């Protein structure tokens, strides 16, 4: 649905985007992650036609952004970081105004509006001035304006910022539903939000894509070897001596155990080695029962930090 090829953007001497390419399919929610200044807003503003690229191509559906910007704009709903809401209009006036701007036929407006107002829980404030609303309500009005006209593509910048925990759950559920038959790009600093909503993540740093994949794929790719956390009944020293006999282990780290008479370790295997069977037999032979055994995956936070720090260190060294 969205195809971005070799997109570059220069602000004077600053190269904010250094040739990024990616594809997002229909029915997909793509997470867009990156530290401050990485180039996320620039990319989103180009995709929504607010900003023109220095070079590169963007197609949305069949339409080319540079050749047919109006057609592209019709298909895209955008929630910028600061939603463009008019403080001196009521929610009702504003959303009707957006519907008109987007060319939604008059007879469809009421149906669309009542669904949006209900899903985004705006009923109580529908006839109130936007300027008097709390940040959470204003954010939801911003989201409603992005969805007005039922666009095929939604580009959402920090959609749950300023919402309370209950509202966050409701809005995430709504975004998940919207993503089933649309194309959604979600930029956020909240990493659990990406894990909760996105099957695929794109990590951007200093104007370049540094990683792409599902959170699980990224975790696997970055992990040097599989790590396991084990809880074993027995004396820590005896357990450690027995663990040391297992082949293909690169690291054994003792961690605090909350249960008396037991000890916990994090064991990292060499490369792709699967050490679980040998671990089981070694411990059984030594009469040391394994009470718990679980793999440890890198969280999205770990992945993000590792990639972004690695990049910056390499650049620093260069
Ligand atoms: N109008 C502008 N003029 C000059 N430089 C700009 C302009 N807009 C952005 N930049 C620079 O381009 C780079 C990318 O900025 P961009 O706003 O796209 O990053 P971002 O990933 O959205 O960051 P944030 O998470 O802080 O919003 C930054 O170094 C920024 O300083």
Residue-wise pLDDT for 112-164, tens only, equals 999 999 988 899 999 999 999 988 899 899 999 999 999 999 999 988 887 88
Closest Cα to residue 211, out of 2, 30, 43? Answer: 30
What pLDDT digit, counting tens, does each position of 30-40 carry? 999 888 889 99
In this prediction the ipTM stands at 0.96
Closest Cα to residue 139, out of 86, 83, 98? Answer: 83
Residue bearing the bigger pLDDT, 126 or 305: 126
Answer whether 280 contacts ligand 1 (Cβ < 6 A): no
What pLDDT digit, counting tens, does each position of 204-254 carry? 999 999 889 887 777 766 666 778 999 999 999 999 999 999 998 988 999
42 C-alpha to center of ligand 1: Å?
A: 6
What pLDDT digit, counting tens, does each position of 77-89 carry? 999 888 878 889 9
Share in percent of the chain as helix, strand, coil (round to 5)? 40, 30, 30
Answer whether 106 contacts ligand 1 (Cβ < 6 A): no
d(CA 273, CA 225): 8
d(CA 290, CA 231): 6
Answer whether 14 contacts ligand 1 (Cβ < 6 A): yes
pTM of the model: 0.78
Domains in the chain, start-ordered, CATH in brackets? 2-220 (3.40.50.300), 225-296 (3.30.70.260)
41 C-alpha to center of ligand 1: Å?
A: 7
Q: Tell which atom from ligand 1 comes closest to the C-alpha of 45.
A: 18
Give the pLDDT mean for 257-282: 90
* Both structure tokens of 62: 């069949």
Residue nearest atom 16 in ligand 1 by C-alpha distance = 39
């Amino acid at each position: 649905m969205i195809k971005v090829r070799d997109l570059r953007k220069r602000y004077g001497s600053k190269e904010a985007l250094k040739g990024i390419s990616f594809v997002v399919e229909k029915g997909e929610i793509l997470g867009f992650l990156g530290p401050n200044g990485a180039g996320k807003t620039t990319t989103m503003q180009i995709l929504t036609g607010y900003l023109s690229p220095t070079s590169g191509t963007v197609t949305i559906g069949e339409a080319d952004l540079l050749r047919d910007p109006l057609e592209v704009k019709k298909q895209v709903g955008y929630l910028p970081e600061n939603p463009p809401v008019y403080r001196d209009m009521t929610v009702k006036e504003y959303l009707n105004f957006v519907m008109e701007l987007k060319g939604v036929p008059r007879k469809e407006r009421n149906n669309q509006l009542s669904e949006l107002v209900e899903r985004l829980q705006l009923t109580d404030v529908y006839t109130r001035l936007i300027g008097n609303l709390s940040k959470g309500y204003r954010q939801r009005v911003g989201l409603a304006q992005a969805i007005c006209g039922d666009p095929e593509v939604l580009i959402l910048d920090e959609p749950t910022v300023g919402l309370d925990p209950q509202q966050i759950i409701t809005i995430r559920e709504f975004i998940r539903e919207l993503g089933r038959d649309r194309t959604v790009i979600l930029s956020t600093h909240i990493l659990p939000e990406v894990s909760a909503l996105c099957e695929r993540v794109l990590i951007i740093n200093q104007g370049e894509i540094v990683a792409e994949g599902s959170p699980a794929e990224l975790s696997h790719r970055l992990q040097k070897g599989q790590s396991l956390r084990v809880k074993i009944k027995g004396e820590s020293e005896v357990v450690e001596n027995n663990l040391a006999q297992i082949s293909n282990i690169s690291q054994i780290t003792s961690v605090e155990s909350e249960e008396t008479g037991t000890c916990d370790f994090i064991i990292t295997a060499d490369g792709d080695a699967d050490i679980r069977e040998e671990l089981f037999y070694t411990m059984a032979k030594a009469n040391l029962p394994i009470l718990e055994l679980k793999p440890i995956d890198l969280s999205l936070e770990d992945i993000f930090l590792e990639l972004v720090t690695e990049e910056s260190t390499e650049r620093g060294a260069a």
